[in-house]
Amino acid sequence: MIMISNFIFSFLASLGFACIFNIKGKKLIYASLGGSIAWLSYLICKTNSHSTVFSFFIGSIAGSIYSEIMARVEKTPVTLMVICAMIPLVPGGGMYYTMQKVIEGDVSGALNTGFTTLSVAGAIALGMVMVSSMTRLIYKFREKTSMNIKSKKNITE
């Protein structure tokens, strides 16, 4: 039941941001599903006793892969899909608690929470960059391969 409610709330959070970005039609649903997929990937990893940072990393990879695929299927910019997919993963709570500890004067708690928050943000960014880079490499390889095949075909004709 908890997973279902998390799926619904992450979908709604992504849906809100998709509306802000003026995504319309079925793209709105696809963009929102990206957030749910990213959040569920994070939760599944976290419940299997992986570290918080690693779980966010896996969540960002899952959301980014989904976004790259759906952006190409729907012929829409990847950034629109990726931003909506990453919204549930944004470590806003960590930033809030870091500031709270700073205000309370708890320096060691603030450093600990701040380091974790920055690590999570870095893991999310790293996951997105890795998927984006791999996608570019795959498409460049496909392009080169198809060009080589076409040029060999023209030579033999």
- The pLDDT of 3-12, averaged and rounded, is 93
Mean pLDDT check: name the lowest of 10-24, 60-74, 94-108, 134-148: 134-148
Q: What is the pLDDT of residue 142?
A: 83
Position 36, amino acid? S
State the DSSP code for 21.
Answer: T
Distance separating alpha carbons of residues 154 and 134, to the nearest angstrom: 30
State the DSSP code for 108.
Answer: H
CB-count burial class (<10 Å; 0-12, 13-18, 19+) for 134 = middle
Paired tokens of 147: 């060009």
Question: Is the backbone of residue 23 left (phi > 0), alpha (psi -120 to 50) or beta?
Answer: beta
Contact of 38 with 59, CB cutoff 8 Å: yes
pTM of model > 0.85: yes
Q: What residue ranges in the chain does DSSP mark as E strands?
A: none
Contact of 135 with 68, CB cutoff 8 Å: yes
DSSP structure string for 116-130: HHHHHHHHHHHHHHH
- The pLDDT of 12-32, averaged and rounded, is 93
Q: How many domains does the chain have?
A: 1
**pLDDT tens sequence across 115-147:** 999 999 999 999 999 999 999 999 888 887 776
Residue ranges making up the domain that contains 107: 2-156
SS3 assignment, position 91: coil
When pLDDT is cut at 50, 70 and 90, the band that residue 2 belongs to is: confident
**pLDDT tens sequence across 60-84:** 999 999 999 999 999 999 999 999 9
